[in-house]
Amino acid sequence: MNLIRSLRFKFIVGLTLIMLPLFLLLYYNNVYAMKVVRDKVSLTYMNHLAKNVEQNERVLQETNRYLYSLGERDPDIISLFFLQYGSGDYIIAKQRIMNKFMTDIGFYNLIDSFYLYDAVNDDLLLATAGNYDIKKSVVQRSMPAQLRQLEGDIQKPEWSIVRGGSFNALVKTVRINQQFYAGALVDMNAMNDSQQFAESGDRGGAVIVTTDGRALSDSTLNAGQIKLAADHLTGLESPYQVISETGRQARQYLMVGISSAMSEMNYVVLLPEEDMMRNLPFFQQIIRLLPIGAAVILITALFFLRQLLFRPMNALIRGMRRVSRGELDVTLEAPSSSELEFVTRSFNQMIQEIQHLKIDVYEEQLRTREAEFKQLQMQINPHFYLNSLNIIHSLASLQKHELVQQMAGHLADYFRFSLRAGKRVISLNDEIEHIRHYLEIQKLRFPSKLEFELDIEPKAGQYVLPPLTIQPFVENAIIHGFQRRMQPFVIRIAARVTGATDGEAKDGMLELRIMDSGVGFAPELLERLQHGQYAKDPGGQHIGIWNVAHRLLVKYGNEAGLIFENRIDGGAAVSIYLPAQTEEQEGGTHAEPVDCG
Domain for residue 510, yes or no?
Answer: yes
Closest by Cα among 253, 264, 158, 159 to 214:
264
Mean pLDDT of 164-173: 85
The whole-number pLDDT of residue 208 equals: 92
Burial track 170-190 (b if 16+ CB lie within 10 A, e otherwise): bbbbbbbeeebbbbbbbbbbb
CA 108 – CA 186 distance, rounded (Å)? 10
Same domain as 565, residue 424: yes
Q: Which of 250, 279, 308 is the last residue of a domain?
A: 279
- The answer to whether position 433 is within a domain reads yes
- Determine the pLDDT at residue 181: 93
Q: What angle separates helix 311-324 from helix 338-397, to the nearest 10 degrees?
A: 20
Q: Of 24-38, 77-91, 273-287, 439-453, which gets the smallest average pLDDT?
A: 273-287
CA angle, residues 352, 354, 355, in degrees to nearest 5: 65
pLDDT of residue 501 exceeding 50, the answer is no
- Which of 67-76, 266-275, 417-426, 560-569 has maximum average pLDDT? 560-569
Q: Which residue has the higher pLDDT, 211 or 381?
A: 211
Question: Cα(504)–Cα(506) distance, rounded to whole angstroms?
Answer: 7
Weakest-pLDDT range from 64-68, 95-99, 386-390 = 386-390
458, 427 contact by CB (below 8 A): no
**Domain-terminating residue out of 171, 190, 209:** 190
Q: What is the mean pLDDT of residues 146-151?
A: 84
- Domain check: are 29 and 108 in the same one? no
Q: Is the pLDDT assigned to residue 592 strictly greater than 50? A: no
The residue among 449, 439, 445, 451 whose CA lies nearest residue 398 is 445
Identify the weakest region by mean pLDDT among 96-100, 180-184, 298-302, 372-376: 372-376
> Averaged over 314-327, what is the pLDDT?
79
DSSP string, 198-256: GGG-TT-EEEEEETTS-B-S--SS-HHHHHHHHTTGGGTTSS-EEEE--STT--EEEEE
Query: Which pLDDT belongs to residue 597?
Result: 36
Q: Where are the beta strands (DSSP E) in 387-446?
A: 426-427
The answer to whether residue 424 scores a pLDDT higher than 60 is yes
Write down which residue in 315, 350, 385 finishes a domain. 350
Q: Are 187 and 112 in contact (CB under 8 A)?
A: yes
181 and 209 both lie in a single domain: no
* Per-residue pLDDT tens digits for 360-371: 675 576 567 656
Is 186 strand, coil or helix? strand
The answer to whether 160 and 263 have CB atoms below 8 angstroms apart is: yes
Q: What is the mean pLDDT of residues 272-281?
A: 71
Please report whether residue 65 resides in a domain.
Answer: no
Residues 443 and 573 in one domain: yes
Most confident of 185-189, 415-419, 539-543: 185-189
Rounded Cα gap, residues 185 and 169, in angstroms: 7
Q: Among 430, 451, 445, 470, which residue's Cα sits nearest to residue 388?
A: 445
The answer to whether the beta carbons of residues 272 and 203 sit under 8 Å apart is yes
- What pLDDT, on a 0 to 100 scale, did the predictor assign at position 515? 95
Q: What is the mean pLDDT of residues 532-543?
A: 60
How many beta carbons lie within 10 A of that of residue 263, not counting itself? 25
Q: Is 573 found in the same domain as 471?
A: yes
* Band (374; pLDDT cuts 50, 70, 90): low
Q: How confident is the model at residue 589 (pLDDT cuts 50, 70, 90)?
A: very low
Does residue 225 have a pLDDT over 70?
yes
β partners of residue 118: 123, 180
Query: Residue 552, exposed/middle/buried by CB under 10 A (0-12, 13-18, 19+)?
Result: buried
CA distance 545 to 147: 102
3-state secondary structure of 528: helix
Side by side, the strands of the sheet bearing 168-175 are 123-128, 113-118, 180-187, 168-175, 160-163
Question: What's the confidence (pLDDT) of residue 450?
Answer: 87
For the chain, the average pLDDT equals: 80
Average pLDDT, integer, range 425-434: 89
Compute the CA torsion angle 527, 471, 518, 407 (nearest 10 deg): -160
pLDDT-derived band at 124 (thresholds 50, 70, 90) equals very high
Q: What is the model's pLDDT at position 590?
A: 42
Give the number of other CB atoms < 10 A from CB of residue 526: 15
Confidence of residue 500 (pLDDT cuts 50, 70, 90): very low
CA torsion 7-8-14-16 (nearest 10°) is: -170
Q: Are residues 407 and 523 both part of a single domain?
A: yes
What percentage of the chain reaches a pLDDT higher than 90? 20
- CATH number for position 425: 3.30.565.10
On whether residue 8 sits in a domain, the answer given is no
Distance CA 479, CA 74 (A): 124
Q: With a cut of 80, say whether residue 229 has pLDDT above it.
A: yes
How many angstroms separate the CA atoms of 539 and 536, rounded?
A: 8
Separation CA 228–CA 387 (nearest Å): 92
Q: Is residue 596 part of a domain?
A: no
The range of the structural domain enclosing residue 332 comes to 282-350
Residues 316, 431 within the same domain: no
Give domain status of residue 57, yes or no: no
Which amino acid is residue 147, in one-letter code? L
Note whether 110 and 198 are same-domain residues: no
More confident position, 222 or 389: 222
How many domains, in total, are found in the chain?
A: 4
* 233 shares its domain with 300: no
Report pLDDT digits (tens) over 251-272: 888 899 999 999 989 999 988 8
Q: Binning pLDDT at 50, 70 and 90, where does residue 490 land?
A: very high
pLDDT for the residue numbered 310: 73
Contacts of 191 (CB under 8 A, 6+ apart): 56, 110, 170, 208, 217
User: Tell me, what DSSP letter sits at residue 215?
Assistant: B
Asked whether the beta carbons of 159 and 60 are under 8 A apart, the reply is yes
Backbone angles phi, psi at 263, to 5 degrees: -165, 170
Beta partners for residue 490, in sequence order: 451
Q: Is 396 helix (H, G, I), strand (E, B) or coil?
A: helix
pLDDT for residue 190 is more than 60: yes
**Residue 54 pLDDT class (50, 70, 90 cuts):** very high
Q: Is the pLDDT of residue 375 over 50?
A: yes
Rounded to a whole number of angstroms, the CA Rg of the chain reads 52
**In this structure, what CATH number is given to the domain that contains residue 81?**
3.30.450
Does one domain contain both 25 and 128?
no
Pair 263, 158: CB distance under 8 Å: yes
Q: Are residues 215 and 275 in the same domain?
A: yes
Q: Is 580 helix (H, G, I), strand (E, B) or coil?
A: coil
- pLDDT for position 267: 92
- Look at residues 401, 395, 430, 402 and name the one whose alpha carbon lies nearest to residue 416: 430
Q: Is residue 512 included in any domain, yes or no?
A: yes
Give the torsion through C-alpha atoms of 33, 34, 39, 44, to 10 deg. Answer: 110
pLDDT of 92 strictly over 60: yes
* Residue of 557 and 5 predicted with greater confidence: 557
591 pLDDT more than 50:
no
Instruction: Specify the range with the lowest mean pLDDT, choosing from 279-288, 380-389, 573-582.
Output: 380-389
**168 and 197, same domain (yes or no):** no
pLDDT, position 22 = 75
Mean pLDDT of 19-48: 80
Q: What's the pLDDT at 11?
A: 75
Residue 594's pLDDT band (boundaries 50, 70, 90)?
A: very low
Cβ neighbours around 571 below 10 Å, total: 21
Q: What's the pLDDT at 536?
A: 46
pLDDT band at 418 (very low <50, low <70, confident <90, very high): low
- Strand (E) or helix (H) holding 543: helix 543-556
State pLDDT tens for residues 196-219. Answer: 665 555 578 899 999 888 888 888
The answer to whether position 93 is within a domain reads yes
